[in-house]
Amino acid sequence: MKLKKLIVASSIVATGLMTNFAYAADSIKVGVLHSLSGTMAISETTLKDTVLMMIEDQNAKGGLLGKKIEPVVVDPASNWPLFAEKGRELLAKDKVDVIFGSWTSVSRKSVLPVLEELNGLMFYPVQYEGEESSKNVFYTGAAPNQQAIPAVDYLINDLGAERFVLLGTDYVYPRTTNKILEAYLMSKGIKSEDIMINYTPFGHSDWQNIVAEVKRFGSEGKQTAVVSTVNGDANIPFYKELGNQGISAEDIPVIAFSVGEEELSGFDAKPLVGHLAAWNYFQSVDTEENEAFIAQWKKYIGDDKRVTNDPMEATYIGFKMWVKAVEKAGTTDVDAVEQAMIGIAVPNLTGGIAVMNPNHHLSKPVLIGEIQEDGQFEVVWETPDTVIGDAWSDFLPSSKNLVSDWTAPIKCGNFDVTTAKCSGQQF
């Protein structure tokens, strides 16, 4: 374990690969692979707009490598197999140089084989379950050790939680995250009978019975908390039902990993005051960088009431890093940009510096916010410094000995420190 942490925290190697790449195209094409319809449109449409805003801003500065950046937008429509089809279309037909896209892990895993087959490059801007590291993906959202684990620590140490309800949408991110959390909770002395787990399909709307069961589970004499990995528009009826059944944050606090300012803007937040969310960014954080970003967003979108959120910041950071890596490499060639990305640093909007580490994950601060009546969050806890994202959890037997390091000499996404062997994609 010490060896694993030593490798993960090893010095960041920044390689400036320069090539004499001859550009045949008149523009640099950026693919945008976000659902603009279906159950995930509530979250993903904003990220499409964020990428377009960043492209417009970069073009106003003269473009990139002397060329205009051209967006190519597709709609995979919350249809997971369609992500692979649309990703292939972007890479093979439209010849994009990079893709910014996906929200759910099932959509990311759908397009991943296409990225690796065609040697495409994608920036993934949403918190996820870990247990993955690809040479063709940069993960700018949180790994479990940058969101889920600190959130549970807060519930135990600060709120005195002794029983836990793990509610999630039925797909890979909630199931894997909850598997990690269940193992972590038991390592902290929480008994299995004090952990309730429930999954619902995408777009689930009838929460009456589930919330009633949560209420019963929390009425047995121990402080109970809900950890929510419910995704998309299912959050609206879920939170409404909490209010309908009189579950307040004082009784059973809910901490969410997929509810931010954008989701809260869709309904009355007053009954949710005091409930929590764990992210790496909140709009309410007061920094000069964040103030400028909020102003830029509201001007671009033409609506002073529109909010910002964590995946937007992750998109912002990823785009800024990609631009710097392309300038550093002198080309949009995927292999050159991939190596140039490692060590790139960009200021976080909440303070501190985001650094791209050799495992293709960022160093990020962890923040816990409390929902306010206006749908914003008041930060009630934060890490003293940034946290390096861990691609492989220390709490699962299958991954506790694995590290990811895409620099020489390892250049492997799942390197076993006990056998000194790579068991997957390697370059």
Residue 100: its pLDDT value, please? 98
Give the residues across from 29 on adjacent strands.
70
Tens digit of each residue's pLDDT (9 = 90 or more) over 367-423 = 999 999 999 999 999 999 999 999 999 999 999 999 999 999 999 999 999 999 998
Pick from 38, 164, 411: which is nearest to 424 by CA? 411
Residue 196: its pLDDT value, please? 98
For residue 182, the enclosing domain spans 145-279
How many structural domains does the chain have?
1
Tens digit of each residue's pLDDT (9 = 90 or more) over 88-137 = 999 999 999 999 999 999 999 999 999 999 999 999 999 999 999 999 99
* Residue 262 banded pLDDT, cuts 50, 70, 90: confident
- Give domain status of residue 191, yes or no: yes
- Give domain status of residue 72, yes or no: no
- Give domain status of residue 115, yes or no: no
Tens digit of each residue's pLDDT (9 = 90 or more) over 352-378 = 999 999 999 999 999 999 999 999 999
- Give domain status of residue 167, yes or no: yes
Residue 39: its pLDDT value, please? 87
Pick from 21, 31, 24: which is nearest to 94 by CA? 31
CATH number at residue 163: 3.40.50.2300
Phi, psi of 105, deg, nearest 5: -70, -30
Q: Alpha-carbon distance 415 to 401, whole Å?
A: 8
- Give domain status of residue 192, yes or no: yes
Q: Alpha-carbon distance 21 to 5, whole Å?
A: 37
Q: Is the pLDDT of residue 297 over 50?
A: yes
- Give domain status of residue 10, yes or no: no
- Give domain status of residue 242, yes or no: yes
- Give domain status of residue 352, yes or no: no
Q: Which residue carries 């890479």 as its tokens? A: 91
